[in-house]
Amino acid sequence: MKERMNYKKNMSLNNMDTITGIDQEISIDNKQSTDKVVEIQNLAHFFGRGELKKQILFDINLTLKTGEVVILKGPSGSGKTTLLTLMGGLRSPQEGSLKVLDSELVGARKHRLVEIRRNIGYIFQAHNLLHSLTARQNVQMSLELHNHLSAQEMKAQSITILEAVGLGEHINYYPKNLSGGQKQRVAIARALVSHPKLVLADEPTAALDSKTGRDVVDLMQKLAREQGCTILIVTHDNRILDVADRIVELDDGRITVNIEN
Ligand SMILES: Nc1ncnc2c1ncn2[C@@H]1O[C@H](COP(=O)(O)OP(=O)(O)OP(=O)(O)O)[C@@H](O)[C@H]1O
Ligand SMILES: [Mg+2]
């Protein structure tokens, strides 16, 4: 209902009162396309109910532009993962406005969140590879969500991206036979193979030594530049701050720093 109301609001802003179908409303929204991949206004988030209800995010205002590499830092428990999962459509936002690729997620139905997730690449601290699949099969899995490709095309694209992350010799290896850094590079390949407009990475270097961690973020930055995608990296690692175009800091659920780097 709220979703519809938001579209109604957009429509009236555009003086297009005569259009009614929800699909048409969505396509109008797409036409409003800007260089803002994520636009957050006055976002608040709570966990728990009743007396246990606790506010975790307060009045978040943040924009991620096309092609930006943004680092999100802040103390443990400050709300970084919560914010990242909200942006990724992995959790329903409750209050304020959160637009991802021009789609309002506050009040959005489940199918809309699922649709948005297809346009986002995720990289987590623990690479989350499937152990029964080879490097190539792990990467290819993320292409299978996009059903316009033939099996042969999917295979070829998976191999190309694995070569791009320096794993040309390890395409048919299972995760147990790869090092931590190699596994994280498979996870990067998996996140980027479908050319998403947005990549969300939660502490992608946490399990790596500093040299490997450095290589991994350099690689993410290089691939992001080549593909023109926006990338948000949550990190505690001060040694990688220089890859960022912008640094955002959360403290106790509030943005305290938001600066160009
Ligand atoms: N599912 C949940 N239910 C209740 N509280 C939660 C839940 N997830 C997180 N929290 C609480 O929300 C706050 C923010 O957690 P979050 O995981 O976003 O922090 P973080 O900044 O990512 O921390 P870290 O750097 O340790 O990963 C914490 O106080 C945490 O206890
Ligand atoms: Mg976290």
Q: Is 47's C-beta closer than 6 angstroms to any atom of ligand 1?
A: yes
The yes-or-no verdict on residue 25 having pLDDT over 90 is: no
> Which residue's structure tokens are 């914010």?
83
Q: What is the mean pLDDT of the chain?
A: 85
Q: Atom 6 in ligand 1: which residue has the minimum CA distance?
A: 47
Helix 135-143 to helix 180-192 angle, to the nearest 10 degrees? 20
pLDDT value at position 22? 34
Parallel, antiparallel or unpaired: strands 198-202 and 230-234: parallel
Q: What is the pLDDT of residues 72-128, one digit of tens each?
A: 999 999 999 999 999 999 999 999 999 999 999 999 999 999 989 989 999 987 768
Read off φ and ψ for residue 167, nearest 5 degrees: -115, 30
**79 Cα: distance to centroid of ligand 1 (angstroms):** 6
Report helix, strand or coil for 100.
strand
Residue 6 confidence (pLDDT) above 50: no
Q: Distance, CA 154 to ligand 2 centroid (Å)?
A: 32
Tokens of 159: 């191999």
Using the atom order of ligand 1, give the atom closest to the CA of residue 74. 21
What is the reported pLDDT for 26?
Answer: 36
Please, what sign has the CA dihedral across residues 92, 70, 124, 163? Answer: positive
Answer whether 53 contacts ligand 1 (Cβ < 6 A). no
CA pair distance 233, 213, nearest whole angstrom: 12
Mean pLDDT over residues 230-244, rounded? 93
Question: What spacing in Å lies between the alpha carbon of 249 and ligand 2's midpoint?
Answer: 13
Q: Is the CB of 207 under 6 A from ligand 1?
A: no
Task: Kindly state the percentage of the chain with pLDDT values over 90.
Answer: 64
* pLDDT average, residue stretch 26-36: 52
Report how far ligand 1's centroid is from the alpha carbon of 76 (Å): 8
Asked if pLDDT for residue 163 goes beyond 60, the answer is yes
Pocket lining: 85 vs ligand 1, CB cutoff 6 Å: no
What does the pLDDT average to over 230-242? Answer: 92
Confidence at residue 3, expressed as pLDDT on a 0 to 100 scale: 39
Contact 6, 107 (CB under 8 A): yes
Ligand 1, pocket-test mutation among 45, 57, 78, most atoms within 8 A of CB: 78
Ligand 1 midpoint to CA 170 (Å): 36
Q: Return the residue whose CA atom lies nearest to atom 13 of ligand 1.
A: 77
Radius of gyration of the chain (CA): 19
In this prediction, residues 38-51 reach a mean pLDDT of 96
Structure-block tokens of residue 93? 């936002």
- The residue whose CA has the least distance to atom 10 of ligand 1 is 47
Q: Residue 30 has what pLDDT?
A: 42
Sheet of 36-47, strand order: 54-65, 36-47, 95-100, 103-104
Residue 78 CA: which ligand 1 atom is closest? 21
Q: How confident is the model at residue 34 (pLDDT cuts 50, 70, 90)?
A: low
What mean pLDDT do residues 151-169 have? Answer: 93
